[in-house]
Structure 1
């Protein structure tokens, strides 16, 4: 969940993330000075709370679980954080889960899920909406048209089978993060493309896709608007959330040439 809390004058347009968030892959904006983050696979099972400038205020070590492949972070209307441990680049994981952490009560819970017909997907994007978790798959960057599938899982503890809701083909873009504005219902998908030109020159491009005027629960069937946020530089954008109805915060992890950073972008219809 995100709300209209951070105004243009209160949040820097760009800021460097600390070294502790060099592989950032999840973001939730809780309040004007409460931004929740986590890193992806191979890092400790930790949540980081920063202020609006990305300066770490506290670190929560969830030592009872592991970060097998944390890929995205979302929040429900009660302030509980959902951690998506469902990354599966090799399409081989038998156990997929989402952890639910309540920062107020310091309580941790979880749910497990699988896909129908014993299929395997890689997921790096999801958000909470009306007691359900909405997951968007990431295609392997091997061809021009990349498909993202929209699955739905109940946001309750237990073992679930994900329900396939919709799909959408994006031209040379693989989805890495998702968010929904709780008041307007706008949906945003962050997606990028990466390859080596001439076999050794890294090239990337990234867009945010906005969806409005969709049938209830069928976000990918709405009106789609696109905003390009990077071109040429090998920037790996992995997380986003709404700052307001017109602005988002997007963040990228560290690469060989670029430090981890976040920047504010504006949606222009």
Structure 2
């Protein structure tokens, strides 16, 4: 016979778990703006054009297409990049002139040696439903053609930004054992073949790889704030010197319920929009918004007087 204290403790734990889940769901869905059109159910990158209209891309399985979204999340327009392939499109960013960059660099098996970034004009300037891209190719010097060992599998990629005429790539770590580190590589922002230069690294967490994977990145229009996205959090970096993004102030923003969050971008210097992929019609498939001056931020490292640098 089960003792009464054991039953009570079990009920208490179940109630606490339910309250935690409800709280996490509220934390996420209170930020929801709208559903995303099923045409972009596997949304992997977003960016605003010069008129602040939102554009999105899908990852592998779709054609080389960009989708302009209405304010309600429906698709308003499609543009096809005629000289591109969507092997595994994983993120989108833009430079200060408004050129869009589309990252075809998903590398789940860590076996793609040459990866591609497509550079196109700002979609507002594309007058038809097709365009051509400037093609940027890069490889990791550490990949020498031999099979990548499990502890070296940090060549998958789902996040990048443009900064000071270069592209910065943040890896999606698949090492075994998992060490939670995203490496930062640098390549040029123009058509050429590049050897990606490793310049920095940052550890998110090691609790569970799917909670710690970096799946998108964005930089503010004034180039003073960087964010990285994972399934539970936004990592905010401020006051960084030059392109040493992890050397300034660092904060973590809890996003509540765990969903497959795959894309983030800045609407303005203070406002972020992020999206998640739809999962079996049950959760996800939404766009969310947060304002950085109104959201709770957990200091990880800050140089402010009340929180001296570590």
Q: What range is the shorter-chain TM-score in?
A: 0.7 to 0.9
Tell me how far 1:254 sits from its aligned partner: 1.2
The secondary structure found in structure 1 opposite 2:111 is coil
Match of 1:228 in 2: 254
Tell me the residue number matched to 2:307.
none
Residue 4 of structure 1 corresponds to: none
Q: CA deviation at 1:265?
A: 1.8
**2:137: which partner in 1?**
112
Report the equivalent of 2:267. Answer: 243
Q: Does 1:216 align with 2:216?
A: no
1:34 has 2:53 as partner: yes
Asked which structure has the greater RCO (Cα within 8 Å, sep 6+), the reply is 1
Does 238-247 or 102-111 show the bigger shift? 102-111
Q: Is the 8 A contact 1:141 1:174 kept in 2?
A: no
In structure 2, what is the Cα distance between the partners aligned to 1:79 and 1:170?
Answer: 30
Partners of 1:181 and 1:137 in 2: how far apart?
20
Structure 1 residues 236 and 13: alpha-carbon distance in aligned structure 2, compared to 1, 3 A threshold: closer
Q: What is aligned with 2:20? A: none
Matches within 5 A, 1:194-205: none
Aligned CA distance change for structure 1 residues 95 and 14 (closer, same or farther; 3 Å) = same
Runs of 4 or more consecutive aligned structure 1 residues displaced over 3 Å after TM superposition: 141-145
Number of residues of Structure 1 aligned to a counterpart in Structure 2? 243
1:163 pairs, out of 197, 217, 229, with 197
- Report the alpha carbon displacement of residue 214 of structure 1 after superposing the two structures with TM: 1.3
Give runs of aligned pairs for residues 1-269 of structure 1, distance below 5 A: 13-31=32-50, 33-102=52-121, 103=123, 104=125, 106-118=131-143, 121-140=155-174, 145-172=179-206, 173-183=212-222, 185-192=224-231, 206-231=232-257, 233=258, 235-256=259-280, 257-267=282-292, 268=295, 269=297
SS state at 2:96 partner: coil
Shift of 1:182: 2.3
Contact 2:83 2:133 in 1 (8 A): no
Aligned in 2, Cα 1:239/1:58: closer, same or farther, shift over 3 Å? same
In 2: Cα distance, 1:134 partner to 1:101 partner: 17
Taking the aligned partners of 2:164 and 2:96, their CA distance within structure 1 comes to 9
CA deviation after TM superposition for structure 1 residue 13, in Å: 4.5
Larger radius of gyration: 2
User: Where in structure 1 are there 5+ consecutive unaligned residues?
Assistant: 1-11, 193-205
Following superposition, the deviation at residue 144 of structure 1 comes to 6.3
Question: Structure 2 unaligned runs (5+)?
Answer: 1-30, 145-153, 207-211, 298-310
Identify the structure with the greater helix proportion: 2
In structure 2, distance between residues paired with 1:100 and 1:109:
5
Contact preservation (8 Å) 1:69, 1:86: yes
User: Are the equivalent residues in 1 in contact too, given 2:236–2:251 (CA < 8 A)?
Assistant: yes
